Amino acid sequence: MSEPKKLYVKTYGCQMNVYDSERMVEALGSKGYVQTDTPDDADMILLNTCHIREKAAEKVYSELGRFRPLRDANPDLKIGVAGCVAQAEGEEIIRRQPMVDLVVGPQTYHRLPEMVDTLAEGGRALDTDFPEEDKFAHLPKTRKAPRGPTAFLTVQEGCDKFCAFCVVPYTRGAEVSRPVERLLHEAQDLVERGVREITLLGQNVNAYHGAGPDGTEWGLARLIRRMAEIDGLERIRFTTSHPNDMEDDLIAAHGDCAKLMPYLHLPVQSGSDRILKAMNRKHTAEHYIRLIARIREARPDLLLSGDFIVGFPGETEADFQATLDLVTTVGYGQAYSFKYSARPGTPAAERPGVDQTEADDRLQRLQALLSEQQRAEQDGMVGREVRVLFEKPGRMPGQMVGKSDYLHAVHVDGPETLRGQIAPVRITASASNSLAGMLI
């Protein structure tokens, strides 16, 4: 029996890429590949890329350059680029970096086994189509290896929103929702392998409208309620959402579905209606604020997370102040903020930018406010009892780390047998990015 071939995968970007990388590993398992944690002795190196941030493609080329000594030492080493940079750059990757053997977009990685056959015949493989077939239907049907207590599950892909700053509609394609029965089967399989918490993923996950087993269209709330019936699945989360797709039944689910965790990531991007219009967000700041109030009415202890872009083309100090005002009004337990970076091919890329010194200053001021809110939220947890799903040992001997209902990292003194268990913890201290507690 031949030795298995080693596959090294490096994943960039969002949770959907983490999920995609897992599925690519499984797809290549049919060709005898097993995953390795280091590229040093790999038979194939696969970069699963993200195109959201500035100079994403250049960073990929730089990373590829670091693998040249490995290729020189092992001419049989195969190197591939997957994900959104692969979709955007296509043949340009092979032209600029001839040692790349394989380029595959995020909608065609189910074809990896056939692409590997092409490599075995001495050719190169490129596939950045948007195929009509459902890639998930062509991936391995069983996933038998044991899993950690948390997992991602992609339920929706693509985006029809066309925000002026975003490349996702061009790299991931139109919004598509996976059928309910396939998702339930995959969720059941994950639970049978040890998963206690599943995070449902989508570029606009709350735009999910999949075909149900009864022939009707199911929204995300109905899917969540059905998944909550799976014995052994204790926690459900979802990300990333769009304010315009937060329907009434999904708001209600935050209040009446016990397994749906009290954490919501709902990006707003700006507090200025003028900038929101320029971004093509199709909602106003007031609409967002009223929406948050309704969700918190359903789930008063909700921890809210968001995304913000500063320095968007045309943003004035008054526009930025409107963002600070919105943050102050809403209150965030967690948030991500970025300085605008032009993405080639998007409408905003052609517009004059904001002075970079001013954009840097605005980002620092926003992050200071968000950090203040995050710290206040964490400090407010001290003395409270939370339920923690323990995932791994901590940095100190005899310590275990897990996530609370609110997605806070929590560490306690306890045995490794806590791994995979949900236990009550009283929070005793708050640090910058984590909480300390004691088992109750």
Q: Tell me: the pLDDT tens digits for 38-70?
A: 999 999 999 998 876 667 778 888 889 999 999
Work out how many domains the chain is built from and give that number.
Answer: 3
CATH code, domain with 69 = 3.40.50.12160
Domain containing 94 equals: 5-127
Q: Judge whether 14 is annotated as a binding position.
A: yes
Residues 60 and 159 reside in one and the same domain? no
- pLDDT tens across 194-233, in order? 999 999 999 999 999 999 999 999 999 999 999 999 999 9
Q: Judge whether 163 is annotated as a binding position.
A: yes
Residues 57 and 87 reside in one and the same domain? yes
Q: What's the CA gap between 206 and 210, in Å, rounded?
A: 11
Q: Has residue 1 got a pLDDT over 80?
A: no
Residues 101 and 157 reside in one and the same domain? no
Query: Of 69, 100, 127, at which residue does a domain stop?
Result: 127
What are the helix (H) ranges across 262-385?
273-278, 285-298, 317-330, 356-379
- For 210, list phi and psi in degrees, rounded to 5: -95, 160
- For 328, list phi and psi in degrees, rounded to 5: -65, -40
Q: Judge whether 257 is annotated as a binding position.
A: no
- pLDDT tens across 376-417, in order? 999 999 999 999 999 999 989 999 999 999 999 999 999 999
Is 390 within a domain?
yes
Q: Tell me which DSSP letter residue 260 carries.
A: B
Query: Of 218, 239, 261, at which residue does a domain stop?
Result: 261
Query: Of 105, 127, 149, at which residue does a domain stop?
Result: 127
Place of tokens 């939370």: 386
- Mean local confidence (pLDDT), 146-152: 89
CATH code, domain with 414 = 2.40.50.140
Place of tokens 């309910």: 180
Residues 252 and 152 reside in one and the same domain? yes
Residues 11 and 123 reside in one and the same domain? yes
- pTM for the model stands at 0.84
What are the helix (H) ranges across 199-284?
220-227, 248-256, 273-278
CATH code, domain with 183 = 3.30.750.210
Is 372 within a domain?
no
